[in-house]
Amino acid sequence: MGALLRMDQASSVADFGDAVAQLPSTWNTWTVADVEGHIGQFASGQVPVREAHRGTFPVPGWVEKYEWKAFASGAQLPHGIDPADGVLAHANNLMIEPGSTDFSRVHVDSAPAFRHQRIVDLARATPKHDLASYRAMLADTHSLRAAQVWPFMQAALGDGAGLSATARAALSRVNAWRFDATADGPEAALFFLTYRHAVVAAVSDELPAPAVKFFLGQRYSTNTADLWFEDPAHLVWDDRATPAVETRDEVLRAAFTRAVQELTEQQGADVNG
């Protein structure tokens, strides 16, 4: 409680940083500003230092080399005050690069930082922010993942030849999409459902069902899966259970077809309705 009281009574970013360093909680990230125009970002808590492994996957904890030797806290955790570009943001992203030696290596895994990058882009796009601009940032639905991955899906699907009329109409909608995941259009659902079906198809012949479930449950897995779409001949697209050599384009056409079928069954065939 003493640390929380000091945080509440801090009169500057630096004072807040000193106070939050005393907070013995699990990991939290704090982004603060003071009336003098200073900004800062701090991590709090006591985080185990894993010398022999990354912490991504389970390890045999009964083996001595995997024991936690120490806990990082306070100034050992990532933090910064008044960055040169004047922008601080956080969206469950890595606070430092995994190879950095500036602080203790307390985390190396994260989902792709699309949301963080979008916040930074929006922050830099406006010279001086107000409540309206912050409100717009909070309500923003632009998907940088879709903007990055869809062009490869589009290349695989081509002009939609061989697809059903409903699928071709759906493809036209996504091709015209500006990558805003709004609730009143089918584009985001088509994209993400196609993405999921393609990734499941890619790994299901490589992994047993429980491992596929584990893989999909790890938000970090998309760091890898996003890159698969860039290579039409990546080995992951081949179904090892068949004598043929499948490619990205075949898998994506099947995934898109399945996505359209599922959404048609759930919401109807009128993609413009």
Q: DSSP string of 60-79?
A: -TTSGGGS--EEE-GGGS-E
Q: Which tens digits make up the pLDDT trace of 56-66?
A: 778 898 998 88
* C-alpha to C-alpha distance for 79 and 230, rounded to whole angstroms: 35
Structure-token pair, residue 161: 């030849």
Q: Which tens digits make up the pLDDT trace of 214-227?
A: 888 877 788 889 99
Checking if the pLDDT of 242 tops 70, the result is: yes
The pTM of this model reads 0.86
For residue 273, the model assigns a pLDDT of 63
Eight-class DSSP state of 19: H
Angle of helix 187-204 relative to helix 165-175, nearest 10 degrees, comes to 110
Q: Is residue 28 helix, strand or coil?
A: strand
Instruction: Find out whether 72 and 43 touch, Cβ atoms under 8 Å.
Output: no
263, HSE (Cβ side, Cα atoms, 13 Å)? 25
Q: Which tens digits make up the pLDDT trace of 108-145?
A: 777 788 999 999 999 999 999 999 999 999 999 999 99
Of 102, 44, 50, give the one whose Cα is nearest residue 74: 44
Instruction: Find out whether 65 and 74 touch, Cβ atoms under 8 Å.
Output: no
For residue 145, the model assigns a pLDDT of 95
Q: Which DSSP string corresponds to 201-226?
A: HHHHTTS-HHHHHHHHH-TTHHHHHH
For residue 58, the model assigns a pLDDT of 82
For residue 30, the model assigns a pLDDT of 93
For residue 228, the model assigns a pLDDT of 96
Q: Which tens digits make up the pLDDT trace of 146-174?
A: 999 999 999 999 999 999 999 999 999 99
